[in-house]
């Protein structure tokens, strides 16, 4: 966090990003959104004090069924961090089920609405941002998010968020506790340079090591332009992401083996591909809740270890 501040990055909120997309409201130079996944207690005991110390903001995606459990924040802590204005709390589903994209419409409704209503009752703030459990999504899930008035969702796909991205497929750069500020800065600058040098060239050329994502088109009246910014974080508690193929009418696209850190620092176009093409779910390792939120580093895209922090930035 100290290095992000020193290198001139400015944290913004998803509300700032939405206003920028909708009416062109200006963003500060080097905008970034810092995100944490799951709602571990360390976000409160370690991350929260550090964010306040350096004058940074962040968003934490909460698994509502885990609130108050061992190693997870309780309602009192959630109220404190949100009332401070330092941290925004948003949805990571109710149960963090690996099968969420495969569920029936009614079950998806329950996962989304139970989480949304509980968080809004605790914080008094609107919940309209979603983080896919284990980075897995489907067209049905995206349609349900739109139906329930969510405006953004973040993936675990590695990269920078861009206005050219689908607002329900925002990318992030994963940051591990062992990562250094210099490494994180280098990763962001490398991605930024690639985008700058290959303007107008298909995204597959910009990031050849990453397979193209499926294109999920939200309903016309609901789609929202998105700009660079998004983040990702550790997976749900006690969950093992094992490779398994489940029958489904829809194909599921899980985050490609993305690098550990999650920080999104600049806009980046998302490749178009058919969501109906069946994709084999990929495995992902759950991060340890104890990772230190103060460190900022970016692991290589091929590593599969999970992280506790993520960031998003838009150039």
- In this predicted structure, what is the pLDDT of residue 306? 39
C-alpha neighbours within 13 Å on the C-beta side of residue 128: 14
Pairing relation of β-strands 152-158 and 170-175?
parallel
Helices (H), the chain: 2-6, 14-23, 42, 48-54, 75-83, 105-123, 139-147, 181-197, 203-206
Provide the pLDDT for residue 164: 82
| Token pair recorded at residue 180 | 């250094």
pLDDT in tens, 136-161: 999 999 999 999 999 999 999 988 88
pLDDT (0 to 100) of residue 312: 56
> According to the model, what pLDDT value does residue 185 have?
83
Nearest Cα residue to 168 out of 88, 101, 239: 101
Identify whether the C-beta of residue 125 lies closer than 8 Å to the C-beta of residue 14. Answer: no
Q: What is the pLDDT of residue 194?
A: 60
Buried/exposed 229-261: b ≥16 CB within 10 Å, e otherwise: bbbbbbbbbebebeeeeeeeebbbbbbbbbbbb
Report the pLDDT value the prediction gives residue 195, as an integer from 0 to 100.
Answer: 53
Q: Give the pLDDT confidence of 97-110 residue by residue, as tens digits.
A: 999 999 999 999 99
Give me the count of residues in the chain: 315
Tokens standing for residue 277? 């093409």
List, in order of start, the domains of the chain with CATH numbers.
2-313 (3.20.20.370)
For residue 99, the model assigns a pLDDT of 96
- Please give the Cα distance from 301 to 143 (Å, whole number): 29
Q: Could you tell me if residue 149 is left (phi over 0), alpha (psi between -120 and 50 degrees) or otherwise beta?
A: left
Q: Would you state the pLDDT for residue 61?
A: 99
Contact 241, 280 (CB under 8 A): no
Q: Which residues of the chain have pLDDT under 70?
A: 193-315
Q: What is the pLDDT of residue 66?
A: 98
């Amino acid at each position: 966090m100290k290095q992000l501040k020193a290198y001139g990055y400015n944290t913004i909120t998803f509300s700032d990003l939405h206003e920028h997309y909708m009416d062109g409201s200006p963003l500060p130079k080097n905008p970034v959104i810092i995100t944490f996944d799951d709602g571990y207690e360390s976000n409160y005991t370690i991350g929260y004090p550090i964010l306040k110390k350096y004058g940074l903001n962040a968003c934490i995606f909460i698994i509502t069924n885990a609130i108050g459990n061992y190693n997870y924040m309780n309602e009192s802590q959630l109220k404190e961090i949100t009332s401070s204005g330092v941290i925004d709390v948003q949805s990571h589903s109710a149960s963090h089920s690996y099968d969420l994209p495969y569920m029936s419409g009614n079950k998806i409704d329950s996962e989304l609405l139970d989480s949304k209503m509980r968080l809004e009752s605790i914080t008094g703030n609107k919940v309209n941002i979603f983080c896919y459990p284990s980075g897995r999504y489907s067209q049905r899930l995206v349609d349900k998010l739109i139906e329930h008035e969510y405006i953004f969702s973040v993936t675990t796909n590695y990269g920078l968020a861009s206005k050219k991205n689908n607002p329900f497929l925002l990318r992030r750069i994963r940051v591990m506790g062992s990562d250094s500020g210099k490494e994180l800065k280098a990763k962001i600058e490398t991605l930024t340079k690639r985008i700058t040098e290959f303007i107008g060239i298909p995204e597959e050329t910009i990031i050849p090591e990453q397979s193209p994502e499926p294109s999920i088109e939200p309903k016309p009246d609901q789609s929202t332009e998105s700009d660079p910014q998004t983040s990702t974080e550790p997976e749900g508690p006690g969950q093992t992401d094992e490779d398994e193929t489940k029958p489904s009418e829809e194909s599921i696209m899980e985050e490609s083996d993305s690098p550990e850190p999650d920080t999104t620092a600049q806009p980046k176009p998302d490749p178009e591909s058919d969501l109906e093409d069946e994709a084999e779910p990929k495995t992902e390792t759950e991060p340890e809740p104890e990772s230190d939120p103060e460190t900022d580093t970016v692991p290589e895209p091929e590593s599969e270890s999970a992280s506790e922090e993520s960031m998003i930035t838009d150039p």
